[in-house]
Amino acid sequence: MFPWSIRPTFQIQLSTPREDAIVRFEVAMLQQTPANLFLTYGEYAEFHLEDELHRFWSPHLSIYFLPGSSDSHCELFGRFAPRPNIWTLVWIFYLAFFCCIFFASIFGGSQWMIGHFPWGLAIAAATMVLYLGLFIASQIGQSLCHDQMELLRNRLEDVLFQAGLEVNKPTP
């Protein structure tokens, strides 16, 4: 996982054909309890936390089965993310900050080109600080929920084991 990502991701190489892996994984997921914590939709699945474990920054784990390097292999792509309501709010802020930086920079550049004081650039700089603050807050949230990310990853590994899906070990 990249340490500075907004949504930490990982990939697991499986030594099983994709369609077979999906079927076996889905069967193992349907045996998990409680069922509302283990959701599967064909090549896509989600792992959730119990309600009593939820905090503001709690993640969920989404996984996808992707084609592998050959027909006898596939890749499992996993991504941690905040709950959808939190994730939507964060991206609305990122989009608003980006638009503000973009338009304030254009406005400030126009002010500078016509010889006026470029106060628009000050707005762009202040918004960049807010943008950076949101990124730092997301990194703090990830560090606070590291234990929950490990719990979800362990649940994924348990389901892979129950499904009999072998993880390819990279050769040195």
Reported as a single tens digit per residue, the pLDDT across 125-144 is 999 999 999 999 888 888 88
pLDDT of 172 reads 41
Torsion sign across C-alpha atoms 17, 20, 23, 28: negative
Task: Give me 6's structure tokens.
Answer: 């907004």
Residues 74 and 61 grouped into a single domain = yes
Residues 154 and 70 grouped into a single domain = yes
What residues form DSSP beta bridges with 59? 82
Tell me, what CATH number does 49's domain have?
3.30.310.220
Total domains in the chain come to 2
Task: Give me 49's structure tokens.
Answer: 């936390």
Residues 152 and 133 grouped into a single domain = no
Residues 62 and 114 grouped into a single domain = no
Overall average pLDDT of the 40-47 stretch:
93
Interior CA angle at 25 toward 33 and 144, to 5°? 60
**Residue 162 confidence class, pLDDT cut points 50, 70, 90:** very high
Reported as a single tens digit per residue, the pLDDT across 54-93 is 888 889 999 999 998 888 889 999 999 888 888 889 889 9
What residues form DSSP beta bridges with 135? none
Instruction: Name the pTM for this structure.
Output: 0.79
Range of the domain at 100: 87-138
